[in-house]
Amino acid sequence: MLPDWIYDVVFVVAVVFLVGVYVSRRATRLDRLHVRVETARAALDAALVRRAAVALELAASRLLDPATSLVLATAAHEARTADAESREFAESDLSRALRAVVDQPDFTATVSARPEGEAVLEELAAASAKVVYARSFYNDAVASARTARRKLLIRVLPLAGRAAWPGFFEIDDDPPRP
Amino acid sequence: MRVGIVCPYTWNVPGGVQQHVRDLAEALIGYGHHVSVITPADDDARLPEYVVSAGRAVPVPYNGSVARLAFGFLSASRVRRWIHENAFDVLHVHEPAAPSLGLLACWAADGPIVGTFHASYTKSRVVSVTAPILQSALEKITGRIAVSEAARKTLVEHLGGDAVLIPNGVATERYAMAEPLPGWPGRDTTGTAPGARADGGVLGFLGRMDEPRKGLQVLLRAFEILGPQRPGLRLLVAGPGDADDVVARVSPALRDRVVVLGMVSEADKVRAYHSVDVFVAPNTGGESFGIVLAEAMSAGAPILASDIEAFDRVLLGGRAGALFPVGDAAALAASAGELLDDPARRKQLSAEARAAVRRYDWSAVARDVLRVYETVALPGRTVVESGRGA
């Protein structure tokens, strides 16, 4: 017959073990969410850079009149060079500039008629759509991570490590509609 | 790009998700991508080359009805092996919140995962219990797609998170050509002068006959106005529901001119679209897209639809099909009469409809889905089995 305190010890050890497993799983999950946020952010940055590049390509392609080229090139350059603080505004401005350009009467028909025109427009459509997708996926990841980090356990224990509090990326990304 | 698609429901059983997966896979293959689909299938089922069976699905009660689902250790290990052997660039899981292969695939894989949500429901009895179980699998999805605004709303409300909207495609060429049904003259494309046609024309309807949202009652009321004015005019009705019940709602004098086919096969459905002079979509609401409308447009049927938001959008504000105020039987009758008397306008609407529906063709939808794949794909990395060096 074992003394009673053995049972108490076994019980306490078991509880500590289970709590440990639980906390570790929560930490793993949070880590996975942070990785997802980072991956989605990288994809979003890539999509934005790509869109600015296509806009610049269109501006430099001689498919457009010089005034339109200038509007596009300026907006694309602003978006590429904006600092973290003004990035969202600059990217929204590029969306608006692209819409204004594509919305010109007969724009799609005129550009498509030129050599390379159709290919550039197709690239622009793909790049604009990918910004919408990448931003949605990023904000979705951020929302999941934020919800997880608001949980009591995560706030009390330093499970989030040094990962920054993830921020949404809010821009007007409505694509131009040819 | 190497794409692995997970279909949660038995391949050979007709269903919206299966059809979606098949059309998407074939469109992607058409673009030159490598596609493998894993799906539950019956043992003796003949499967296309690109489809891998994960074994049989079992009928179980789920969420208020009996669903055929694939779950358990055997299915899980087959999904695992399939993921391991194929080294996909992107894994595309359909209906990941259903307890079937989709959920198993999310569980078994690490890497770029795209999830498409099909179902929409306003209330789920179990979701508060199941959300924690689903959460860890669903959190692995890097890109979410909803096929309709309703599916997206369901996702936001019940599972949290957001999705991009990419609607179902229409296999437009499947509807493009067909013989009219026997006993029906078929769409008048000759441009015969008004009144010169012997038969007086045909109006058509397709959809659930007993569901008020589909608006058959509006069309029947309009036929009560039109029928007496146009002695040769007939009405062709197809769709699930009680045929006798529909006929009983028509006044006795007109009954022999209302033909109710009830539920029809896919082939007969296509022929029905080609048997009518004006296809009427009198829906009163609740449609996010109107797949029936898109099918009729693919068949080149001149369309008269209620002006609900979704139809107005699909029909380009009236350019690709005439619109009437929703629920207004008198307006429907007036517009239908005008269209029946104007073959040139019908011909123009038919051509505009065929052109407008191209935006919804699977080739266009697959291109959008590919853009999602390209957004989430990680250069130089493939989808791997979970827990093995992710």
What is the CATH classification number for the domain harbouring A49?
1.20.1440
Range of the domain at A49: 15-156
Residue B195 has what pLDDT? 45
- B240-288 per-position pLDDT tens digit: 888 888 888 888 888 888 989 888 888 889 999 999 999 999 998 766 6
Q: What is the pTM (predicted TM-score) of this model? A: 0.79
Residue B278 has what pLDDT? 93
Of B334, B305, B333, whose CA–CA distance to B320 is shortest? B305
Inter-chain touch B163–A47, beta carbons under 8 Å: no
Nearest CB partner across the interface for B136, out of A29, A36, A139: A29
Nearest CA in chain A to B162: A140
Inter-chain touch B162–A143, beta carbons under 8 Å: yes
Residue B194 has what pLDDT? 44
Residue type, A116: E
Q: Is residue A2 part of a domain?
A: no
Residue B301 has what pLDDT? 92
Q: What DSSP element (H or E) covers B280? A: strand B278-281
CATH of B172-359, one of 3.40.50.2000, 3.40.50.11540, 3.40.190.10, 2.40.30.10: 3.40.50.2000
Asked if the model's pLDDT at residue B387 lies above 80, the reply is no
- B109-146 per-position pLDDT tens digit: 999 999 999 877 665 555 566 667 778 788 889 999 99
Of B280, B274, B238, B281, whose CA–CA distance to B258 is shortest? B238
Inter-chain touch A133–B142, beta carbons under 8 Å: no
- A133-151 per-position pLDDT tens digit: 999 999 999 998 888 888 7
Q: Which two tokens stand for residue A66?
A: 């010089």
Interface predicted TM-score (ipTM) of this complex, two decimals: 0.82
CA distances for B324 relative to B137, B199, B344, angstroms: 46, 25, 19
Task: Give the pLDDT band of residue B390 (cuts 50, 70, 90).
Answer: very low
Residue type, B223: F
> Which residues of B, range 307-366, sit inside 8 Å of A by Cβ?
none
Place of tokens 């590029």: A94
CA distances for B262 relative to B58, B258, B269, B376, angstroms: 30, 12, 11, 44
Inter-chain touch A137–B136, beta carbons under 8 Å: no
Asked if the model's pLDDT at residue B302 lies above 50, the reply is yes
User: Min CA distance, A12 vs chain B (Å)?
Assistant: 27
What residues of chain A lie within 8 A of the CB of B161, using their CB? 140, 143-144
- A76-115 per-position pLDDT tens digit: 999 999 988 889 999 999 999 999 988 888 888 888 888 8
Which is higher by pLDDT, A13 or A158?
A13
- B285-299 per-position pLDDT tens digit: 766 667 888 899 999
Asked if the model's pLDDT at residue A127 lies above 90, the reply is yes
Alpha helix stretches (DSSP H) within B211-328: 216-229, 243-248, 266-273, 291-298, 309-314
Q: Is residue A63 part of a domain?
A: yes
Residue A178 has what pLDDT? 66
Bridge partners, B6 (sequence order): B38, B93
Beta strands B65-69; B58-62: pairing state? antiparallel
Nearest CA in chain B to A26: B136
Q: Is residue A164 part of a domain?
A: no
Torsions phi, psi for B117 (to 5 deg): -100, 125
Q: In terms of CATH architecture, what is B2-169+362-385? A: 3-Layer(aba) Sandwich (3.40)
Nearest CB partner across the interface for B139, out of A32, A47, A129: A32
Of the residues B155, B371, B378, B384, the best mutation for testing chain A's interface (the one with the most A CB atoms within 10 Å of its CB) is B371
| HEC profile of B255-278 | HHHEEEEECCCHHHHHHHHCCCCE
Bridge partners, B53 (sequence order): B39
Of B140, B58, B43, whose CA–CA distance to B91 is shortest? B140
**What is the rounded distance in angstroms from the CA atom of residue B21 to the CA atom of residue B11?**
9
User: Min CA distance, A89 vs chain B (Å)?
Assistant: 22
Sequence-separated (6 or more) residues with CB below 8 Å from residue A66: none
- B156-215 per-position pLDDT tens digit: 887 777 899 998 888 888 888 888 887 777 776 554 444 445 567 899 999 888 888 888
Inter-chain touch B161–A144, beta carbons under 8 Å: yes
Residue B265 has what pLDDT? 86
What residues of chain B lie within 8 A of the CB of A32, using their CB? 139-140
User: Min CA distance, A127 vs chain B (Å)?
Assistant: 9
Asked if the model's pLDDT at residue B231 lies above 70, the reply is yes
Nearest CB partner across the interface for A137, out of B140, B142, B368: B142
- B48-104 per-position pLDDT tens digit: 999 999 988 888 877 666 778 888 888 888 999 999 999 999 999 998 888 888 888
Inter-chain touch A134–B378, beta carbons under 8 Å: no
Sequence-separated (6 or more) residues with CB below 8 Å from residue A67: none
Inter-helix orientation angle B329-340/B343-356, to 10°:
110
Q: Is residue A173 part of a domain?
A: no
Is any Cβ of chain A less than 8 angstroms from the Cβ of B376?
yes
Task: Give ranges for CATH 3.40.50.2000 in chain B.
Answer: 2-169+362-385, 172-359
CA distances for A17 relative to A5, A20, A28, B40, angstroms: 18, 5, 16, 39
Task: Give the pLDDT band of residue B38 (cuts 50, 70, 90).
Answer: very high
Residue B252 has what pLDDT? 87
CA distances for B32 relative to A162, B3, B4, B382, angstroms: 44, 11, 14, 19
Inter-chain touch A144–B139, beta carbons under 8 Å: yes
> Which residues of B, range 133-162, sit inside 8 Å of A by Cβ?
136, 139-140, 142-144, 160-162
Inter-chain touch A137–B144, beta carbons under 8 Å: yes
> Which residues of B, range 100-139, sit inside 8 Å of A by Cβ?
136, 139
Residue B385 has what pLDDT? 86
**What is the rounded distance in angstroms from the CA atom of residue A81 to the CA atom of residue A72?**
14
Q: Is residue A162 part of a domain?
A: no
User: Min CA distance, B300 vs chain A (Å)?
Assistant: 24
Task: Give the pLDDT band of residue A154 (cuts 50, 70, 90).
Answer: low
Task: Give the pLDDT band of residue B149 (cuts 50, 70, 90).
Answer: confident
Mean pLDDT across chain A, nearest whole number?
Answer: 87
> Where are any strands of DSSP class E within B45-123?
51-53, 58-62, 65-69, 90-94, 109-110, 113-117
Residue B125 has what pLDDT? 54
Tally of domains within chain A:
1
> Which residues of B, range 16-55, sit inside 8 Å of A by Cβ?
none
Q: Which two tokens stand for residue A84?
A: 């973290």
